[in-house]
Amino acid sequence: AQTVTQSQPEMSVQEAETVTLSCTYDTSENNYYLFWYKQPPSRQMILVIRQEAYKQQNATENRFSVNFQKAAKSFSLKISDSQLGDTAMYFCAFMKPSFTSGTYKYIFGTGTRLKVLA
């Protein structure tokens, strides 16, 4: 069974600094997707970034980028120029397409609570 591990329950970073959140996963699959979601105090789950396993190039979305190491099964999120609005819980998620049912089930990590300090 696939598992997703986020080993940092809490982190903090000074405003304008860079922070990296770690995520490791366990799978025997070759075709899958990885995601980072942000959950601010409003509790809304917001997609931050997505990575397809078959792509070697790391995904980037503005100040957010990932370091995807497929062999090491590692998927870390780097936030550059941290802003107060980045304060949130961040969840890493793994998704493997199921072609038998056509569904796409996610497995989430337990989250990292990030606090950006002024």
Partner 1 sequence: DAGITQSPRHKVTETGTPVTLRCHQTENHRYMYWYRQDPGHGLRLIHYSYGVKDTDKGEVSDGYSVSRSKTEDFLLTLESATSSQTSVYFCAISRTQETQYFGPGTRLLVL
Q: Which residues of the shown chain bind partner 1 in the complex (CB under 8 A)?
A: 4, 33, 35, 37, 43-45, 47, 50, 91, 93, 95, 97, 101-106, 108-111
Is the Cα dihedral 41, 46, 47, 49 positive or negative? negative
The residue (of 39 and 87) whose beta carbon lies closer to partner 1 is 39
Amino acid occupying residue 40:
P
- Rounded to a whole number of angstroms, the minimum distance from the CB of residue 9 to partner 1 is 9
Identify which of residues 82 and 91 has a Cβ nearer to partner 1 in the complex.
Answer: 91
- Closer residue to partner 1 in complex, CB, 69/110: 110
Cβ-based nearer residue to partner 1, 37 or 75: 37
